[in-house]
Amino acid sequence: MKTLYFEGAGWAEADTSIATIGNCRCRTAFVNDEGKKVYLEISVGTQMKKKIIERYWLHIDFAHYITNDPKIDDCNNSRIHHDWMKTKENYDYSIEDITKWINKNLHCSFDNINVLSNFSGYRVHGDNRSYNLMEDYNHNEELVEIRKSIYKTYYELEKSEGKQYPNFSLWTDEVNKMALHLLRHYNGHNKHWTITINHSLKSWIVEETMLGKYAC
């Protein structure tokens, strides 16, 4: 099974996300069957009738080749042309139709797509206008689940402290995929912790640390 992974770039809890593929906007970078690097970003469109959603359609936000040439603006100069209206009319915002559109228009042969959660650790955009290719991402569902459990732990902690809407931040380290960053907000200051997951995926260690240039 050949799967194209997407980074979820919208709000996963939005009604349009829940009703479709798990995220209302997503993006990816990958190598097609011709050996060309491609960046693709898509979002959901809604077709309404009498204030009722009749259908969710596929909108292509960006589709271009990645040249890795700093002198070239790939977004404008390496675009992959497609018929926007035909896409809207003929492709739903569904796993099946998105896969079909990619295979037909981007010279690919994927069996399906998978929109990853925020806890996957996959980020398409790297430093200095670089891209992280999907092929270099190693999906580990067990690791994703423990990250989710850590999030739940701190969500419940903040609820128990009286916050109606917990507002901490938790994200995966870009280099060490076994590490998470936790940023909690207090009156007038923030605190940052590094959470290191044990390689057995059974436990984790929490250590208060500085958050780079922000010195939290």
Question: Residue 45 is inside which H or E element, if any?
Answer: strand 37-49
Sequence spans of domains, the chain: 3-136, 141-214
Q: What is the pLDDT of residue 215?
A: 58
**Which residues 6+ apart lie within 8 Å of 30 measured at CB?**
4, 37, 38, 40, 108, 133, 134, 135
Q: What is the pLDDT of residue 108?
A: 98
Q: What is the pLDDT of residue 95?
A: 98
- Report the SS3 class of residue 126: coil
* Per-residue model confidence as pLDDT tens for the chain (216 residues): 899 999 999 999 999 999 999 999 999 999 999 999 999 999 999 999 988 999 999 999 999 999 999 889 999 999 999 999 999 999 999 999 999 999 999 999 999 999 999 999 999 999 888 999 999 999 999 999 999 999 999 999 999 999 999 999 999 998 899 999 999 999 889 999 999 999 999 899 999 999 876 556
Q: What is the pLDDT of residue 140?
A: 94
Provide the 10 A C-beta neighbour count for residue 199: 7
